[in-house]
Copies of this chain bind each other. A is one copy, B any other.
Amino acid sequence: MSDLLERLRGRGWRMTAQRRVVAEVLDGEHVHLTADEVLARATARLPEISRATVYNTLGELVTLGEVTEVTTDGRAKRYDPNAHRPHHHLVCSRCGAIRDVHPDGDPLADLPASERFGFTVSGVEMTYRGLCPDCS
């Protein structure tokens, strides 16, 4: 994720300890943390970081397209740093575990014009539901 820090700097982002820590916490594959989890992990590294800053920073990362928001349960939003590789999600209905998945085909092409109702369709999110190995 150090290339993320580079990209952000290149965009004129003012680099602060808080922002660096939030970006570092989001590093990795299959990371889908809630804002509170990000706060907890960030606090472990930088105890005086505030909740508002975590929310601000996450919001900026989303606006910049570096991170996507995922809502799988109507409760806390989750933040997915894997924004440059399009993918969908597979969620365990029991324990909430989340995996990134890459289905075959192009779901956008599967929506015929007659089902678009004049909308300009730009994207699609798919959430597969099921039971993970531990829960089934």
Contacts and interface: CB of A to CB of B under 8 A. Distances in A.
Contacts of A124: 126-129
Interface stretch (A4-12, A53-61, A100-108): A100-108
Interface of A: 69, 71, 73-74, 77, 90, 92-93, 99, 101-105, 107-108, 110-112, 115-133, 136
Contacts of A125: 126-127, 129
Nearest to A71: B74
Nearest to A100: B115
A62 to B, nearest CB: 11
B119 A133 contact: yes
Contacts of A127: 124-127
